[in-house]
Amino acid sequence: MDYKKYIAERLHAEGVSAEELAALIVCPPDPAMGDYALPCFKLAKTLRKSPVAIAESLCADFTADEVIGKAEAVNGYLNFTVNRTGMVGDILKKVLSEGARYGASDMGGGRVVCIDYSSVNIAKRFHIGHLSTTVLGAAIYRIMNFLGYKAVGINHLGDYGTQFGKLISAYKLWGDREEVEKQGVSALNELYVRWHKEAETHPEMEDEARAYFKKIEEKDPECLALFDWFKELTLKDVARIYELLDVRFDSYAGESFYSDKMAPVVEELREKGLLKESQGAQIVDLEAYDMPPCIILKKDGSSLYATRDMAAAIYRKNTYDFYKCLYVVAYQQNLHFKQFFKVLELMGKPWAKDLVHVAYGMVSLEEGAMSTRKGNVVFLEDVIDKCIEKAYAIVSEKNPDLENKEEVAKKVGVGAVIFGALYNSKIKDIVFSYDKVLNFEGETSVYVQYTCARANSVLQKAGDAAGYAVPASLTAEEFDLARALDAFPETVLSAAEKYEPCLISRLCVDIAQKFNKFYFNCKILTAEREELKNFRLALTKATLQTLTNALSLLGIGVPEKM
Ligand code: ARG
């Protein structure tokens, strides 16, 4: 039952359609203002009346029925009070019948949404700087699929550039095959750091590195084999993290994949008269758009990050015919995306408007910032492991007899890392704190998971419950909880529209808080009447279902017991 639509269809405002009215109706945060409200301010211009007068005349025309019990005009708002029993009945029926599909839709109609996320750099360990892009991207990926889009996850590997020439040079100087095979990316990183230290006093090493990089480009068998091996080692290293976080990709086409796809782009830019020479380099002038020029080719003819991204965008359009192509990348790269999106637009690509930079803020640990070159990096794997370890300690203390502590600790620890990164509006910088993300009483995933375990335990104790009937008079706790569950489908839509999974995490906490109020103030298993007990059990079951669906969109599992 779509209440907004139902109300809108019963209002008569000349020249304003029911759809327009429905879009204006809100759920007021203060229950004193009714269950739904129509703010009349936006109608003043069309109806040429004051909001107060509009609310009053709409109210006078409105006939209450068994769905909408009452309408009241207050200060330019038209407030509606619904028949709560009917409404809660509708909500329960919907959640329980739709089950794991509650909140899903087919509105996407199979349209393709490419999502460029995680996009790790070869030969570097996965550090905490790549946490947000990975969990945000993966959440958006799941949300899009849940809404009937076809998400295509792309890991645009950072596997191109002179740093790989440096790595080959370092490996040839000091590398040991067995050691590197055993230590993986850490060994590569060490070689890289050592190379930089040496190069400070031996600048000629730079030329050697460039020469090696050129050899990779020219597909010299030895260099290419080494480079492929470095890639393989890196992907093996990140695979464990992806598995823990339940993150998947449909493509690993990285920057080097576009090596041979850039020439036609440069040619097209030239043909369209967009290329200009500047100090030997080839650029696209963006002064008219208040941006520095987008450099396409360096003086020595080599390509840039932007050139590869342009080739990638064109390739993705041709391959996937996307409806949207999202780039989940830190805000530090704002200018880069603005520039190459603009250049594609200037090339006359009508789909340039469908490219979206989903920018997010920085994550740092409480201890402070980090830098890659010097080697004092915070590795994501260490953060996850530490969270799992701490979760294990907490769970063991709270419930020493719990059977599968390890499995529970894994779900709790991994959940804490994900939820910690997805709880705030993505553009905000976050300082990650172990104590905060693992606080059982905080706005955390473990609080939500614990609530689920509580709901589960009630349901298990109850066994099979027969039919329920929604009581004629509901407690505030029951009604508020049901309403929070009802907000889920709309929240998923907004999360998709704004690329903000945090809307879902926040709703999880809201639902959990409302469930706990309900749990402590309304007797469930010991309710006065059998029918009331069954109703409360149905509400408990619907809560568990909604929270399970919501958490799974974020990539967080729900332990049965905790
Ligand atoms: N590898 C880059 C980095 O770590 C991110 C790449 C983002 N994707 C893109 N198409 N530019 O900063």
Q: Say how far apart CA 226 and CA 76 lie, in whole Å.
A: 71
Distances (CA, A) of 334 to 235, 323, 327, 360: 27, 22, 11, 10
For 368-417, what is each residue's pLDDT tens digit? 544 444 445 788 999 999 999 999 999 999 999 999 999 999 999 999 99
Q: Which of 541, 517, 540, 478 is nearest to 88 (CA)?
A: 478
3-state SS of 440-459 is CCCCCHHHHHHHHHHHHHHH
User: How many angstroms separate the alpha carbon of residue 123 from the centre of ligand 1?
Assistant: 14
Q: Which one of 329, 358, 370 would you pick to mutate in the ligand 1 pocket, going by the greatest count of ligand atoms within 8 A of its CB?
A: 329
For 515-530, what is each residue's pLDDT tens digit? 999 999 999 999 999 9
Ligand 1 contacts CB of residue 35 (under 6 A): no
Q: Number of helices (H) and strands (E) in the chain: give both, helices first.
A: 22, 12
Containing 376, the helix (H) or strand (E) segment is none
Assessment of whether the complete model's pTM goes beyond 0.85: yes
Q: Is 465 helix (H, G, I), strand (E, B) or coil?
A: coil
User: Side-chain half-sphere of 229: how many Cα atoms within 13 Å?
Assistant: 17
Residue located nearest, by CA, to atom 6 of ligand 1? 119
pLDDT tens series, the chain, 562 aa = 889 999 999 999 999 999 999 999 999 988 788 999 999 999 999 999 999 999 999 999 999 999 999 999 999 999 999 999 999 999 999 999 999 999 999 999 999 999 999 999 999 889 888 999 999 999 999 999 999 999 999 999 999 998 999 999 999 999 999 999 999 999 999 999 999 999 999 999 999 999 999 999 889 999 999 999 999 999 999 999 999 999 999 999 999 999 999 999 999 999 999 999 999 999 999 999 999 999 999 998 889 999 999 999 999 999 999 999 999 999 999 999 999 999 999 999 999 999 999 999 998 887 654 444 444 578 899 999 999 999 999 999 999 999 999 999 999 999 999 999 999 999 999 988 999 999 999 999 999 999 999 999 999 999 877 789 999 999 999 999 999 999 999 999 999 999 999 999 999 999 999 999 999 999 999 999 999 999 999 999 999 999 999 999 999 999 999 9
Ligand 1 contacts CB of residue 390 (under 6 A): no
For the CA atoms of 201, 203, 209, 211, the dihedral, rounded to the nearest 10 degrees, stands at: -150
Q: Say how far apart CA 136 and CA 131 lie, in whole Å.
A: 8
Residues 6 or more apart whose CB falls under 8 angstroms from that of 229 comprise none
Q: 112-116 and 430-432: which strand pairing?
A: unpaired
Distances (CA, A) of 368 to 60, 362, 371, 376, 387: 61, 12, 10, 11, 18
Residue located nearest, by CA, to atom 1 of ligand 1? 158
User: How many angstroms separate the alpha carbon of residue 63 from the centre of ligand 1?
Assistant: 57
Q: What is the pLDDT of residue 367?
A: 66
For 413-443, what is each residue's pLDDT tens digit? 999 999 999 999 999 999 889 999 999 999 9
Residues 6 or more apart whose CB falls under 8 angstroms from that of 493 comprise 105, 107, 147
User: Side-chain half-sphere of 283: how many Cα atoms within 13 Å?
Assistant: 15
Q: Is 37 helix (H, G, I), strand (E, B) or coil?
A: strand
Burial (CB < 10 A; 0-12, 13-18, 19+), residue 168, is buried
Q: Which two tokens stand for residue 197?
A: 């230290």
Q: 275-278 and 281-284: which strand pairing?
A: antiparallel
Q: Is 482 helix (H, G, I), strand (E, B) or coil?
A: helix
User: How many angstroms separate the alpha carbon of residue 414 from the centre of ligand 1?
Assistant: 24
Q: Give one DSSP letter per residue of 323-375, joined into a string.
A: SEEEEEEEGGGHHHHHHHHHHHHHTT-GGGGGEEEEEE--EEETTB--BTTTT
**Hunting for tokens 């294990």 — which residue is that?**
392
3-state SS of 65-96 is CCCEEEEEEECCEEEEEECHHHHHHHHHHHHH
Q: Which two tokens stand for residue 460?
A: 């298990």
User: How many angstroms separate the alpha carbon of residue 359 from the centre of ligand 1?
Assistant: 12
Is the Cα dihedral 65, 67, 68, 70 positive or negative? positive
For 329-366, what is each residue's pLDDT tens digit? 999 999 999 999 999 999 999 999 999 999 999 988 87
Residue type, position 151, single letter: A
User: How many angstroms separate the alpha carbon of residue 158 from the centre of ligand 1?
Assistant: 7
Q: Which one of 115, 116, 118, 119 would you pick to mutate in the ligand 1 pocket, going by the greatest count of ligand atoms within 8 A of its CB?
A: 119
**Structural domains in the chain plus CATH codes:** 3-82 (3.30.1360.70), 161-241 (no CATH), 381-554 (1.10.730.10)
Q: Say how far apart CA 29 and CA 35 lie, in whole Å.
A: 9
Ligand 1 contacts CB of residue 121 (under 6 A): yes
Q: Say how far apart CA 461 and CA 442 lie, in whole Å.
A: 27
Q: What are phi and psi for residue 330, nearest 5 degrees?
A: -55, 150
User: How many angstroms separate the alpha carbon of residue 71 from the centre of ligand 1?
Assistant: 53
Residue type, position 31, single letter: P
User: How many angstroms separate the alpha carbon of residue 522 from the centre of ligand 1?
Assistant: 51
Q: With contact defined as beta carbons under 8 Å apart, do 496 and 435 qualify?
A: no
User: How many angstroms separate the alpha carbon of residue 333 from the centre of ligand 1?
Assistant: 9
**Hunting for tokens 């890659």 — which residue is that?**
372
Ligand 1 contacts CB of residue 116 (under 6 A): yes
Q: What is the pLDDT of residue 376?
A: 59
Residue type, position 314, single letter: I
Cross-strand partners of 153: 115
Q: Which two tokens stand for residue 65?
A: 């029925």
Q: Say how far apart CA 289 and CA 301 lie, in whole Å.
A: 26
Total length of the chain: 562
Ligand 1 contacts CB of residue 329 (under 6 A): yes
Ligand 1 contacts CB of residue 119 (under 6 A): yes
Q: What is the pLDDT of residue 463?
A: 87
Q: With contact defined as beta carbons under 8 Å apart, do 327 and 305 qualify?
A: no
Residue located nearest, by CA, to atom 5 of ligand 1? 119
User: How many angstroms separate the alpha carbon of residue 555 from the centre of ligand 1?
Assistant: 22
Q: Which one of 117, 155, 156, 370 would you pick to mutate in the ligand 1 pocket, going by the greatest count of ligand atoms within 8 A of its CB?
A: 156
Q: Which of 321, 311, 341 is nearest to 112 (CA)?
A: 321
> Interior CA angle at 496 toward 491 and 501, to 5°?
70
Q: What is the pLDDT of residue 371?
A: 41
Q: Say how far apart CA 70 and CA 410 lie, in whole Å.
A: 50
User: How many angstroms separate the alpha carbon of residue 290 from the centre of ligand 1?
Assistant: 24
